[in-house]
Structure 1
Amino acid sequence: MAIELKPQNTNVITLEEFIEYAEEHVDMRNEQSLQDAAPMMKALGNNRDFLADKINEELVKLANFQEDNHYGAQVLMLGRTNKFFMRACFWPSAQDKSYKESGPESFFYYLPHDHNFNFLSVGYYGPGYKSEYYEYDHDKVIGMPGEKVDLKYIRTSQLEQGKVMLYRGKKDIHYQIPPESFSISINLMEDSLDLPRINQYRFDLENRCIHSLINRNSGPVLADIAAKVGNENTRQLLTDLGVRTTCPRTKSAIVKSLATRLPSRNQIDFIESHLTGKNDYFNAQLLHQINELQVRETSLC
């Protein structure tokens, strides 16, 4: 499961001191390095003023409020470097207005999911959300919705104030349950150009399978739009991008999108010409599209 860490550190440090420490000492891809950072994360959590100070700082520059925040109102960005960023996450209870107005899915409650990156979290305020924790082997999964996954339930735990948790990328799954009252966690998040190409999943616990992909990646959407409204120059640009990109979602979306610009009788042959024979997400997506086209052809006969 996500690793529970309870460092007995009573020191207090500033946000700037923690970022400086993490920049110099933390390897975001090394679990032991992240565990070693737990006492410093606890020391930041012991600082009961830094978050209020950060909020005040942001309110002063309201016209440019949180320019680097791509998450929305649940998240307050605290700082960013080349290899990580810091954020505060707000967790409403089921009784809070934001929960009632936006619904649980807006806060990822009751949506079992993994992460394609490592991150360290400390409970900062309130009782903290609860999580049912599971583990799985990311390397044994292709990534298609409905695909069966060997999910192993580990335990249920709560991110109370002062507890530090290490969430391991591509391994830990958590099913979050709203806290009893409003809570806040502080996160140290891995940030890498490689992350968009690594699949992140929502799971169906009842049927023990992948429910859907939840990556934030504009590549597949852009490929679909480009194929619909683009010109011949667009087609060549998509073709070139399909050769260069290492993201399997974008790569498969480009092939499928380019196929839609061909006469229906040629679409299957075009997609088949891109199959590599590997048992991976790219080929699974293309085979799924071929099957859909064949079913469509049969229904028209």
Structure 2
Amino acid sequence: MPKVLAIDDEFHILQLVAEFLRDQDYEVTTANNGRLALECLQSYHPDIILCDVEMPEMNGYEVLEQFRKNSETAHIPFVFLTGMSARHQMRAGMNLGADDYLTKPFTFQELLKAVQSRLKKTEDLHQYVEKQLDAKEKIIQTLAYRDETTGLPNQQALEQAFWQITRQEQKLALIFFQLEGFQNSAAGHTPALGRALMKALTNRLRAYFHENQKNLFYLGINQFCLLLHIQNPQNLLQTFELIQQQTQSPFQIFKQEHRFGLSAGISLYPHNALNLENLLNSAQKACQQAEALGGNQCQFVL
């Protein structure tokens, strides 16, 4: 039930406004001067404020100024109620932060429309802010789980994916791979070259592994891994060969041609390790062995 604070020194107007709005299912609290209204705010938190302009002790402008100075009430819609002679003063009220005004005498329908309109605008604003916050939260989540350079899921995402997959799957393969000669090619160049090479390789991998993109991860400079469900271990060698094919054509980066080989290490869950850290470490060591044996090949963890 929306809450209304009505402020007016004319008792009969205050009562009429309160009774009408209560009949329309609004909760209404009244105050016959500005000082009482400010005291009321210590325990009452209205959704909208209706306030007369010309009142003793504290006029409507002074009430509005106090409300806008308070961070807890500054956002509350504020509607002035004014006599015909005070119309020329409304611009001053709007400049102080009033949201709307009704000129006395007003009809009940005009009052209801003003209240409904202001509350709707406030609700629309709240929904807009919530959507913006949700959108920013999604962006933050995306940045937390994706690499900025390649756009691929990162190691944090790998940890989450491994946990989810191993809850259901009996067997899993982790293929760790990296470009051979990448460090030599990138040495002496700007970091932009390294990023461009990683993006180029990522684009090729995405084109070939579109069905398994969610299981392709970028772990850091020149380090990728692929999580696969095992149906036939022999297919893992074919998968490596498909990955390897993506590096056979030279990369054209900044008008220069770059050629690379590719080595990989393959470890199996739960045969080689029961947790991701050991599974990944063993695959990395197998990849190093592949490079030591001449490179451009893969090695299985025994």
Asked whether the two chains share a fold, i.e. TM above 0.5, the reply is no
Higher fraction of helix: 2
Q: Which structure: larger Rg?
A: 2
Which structure ranks higher in relative contact order (CA pairs < 8 Å, sequence separation ≥ 6)?
1
Give the TM-score, by structure 1 length.
Answer: 0.21
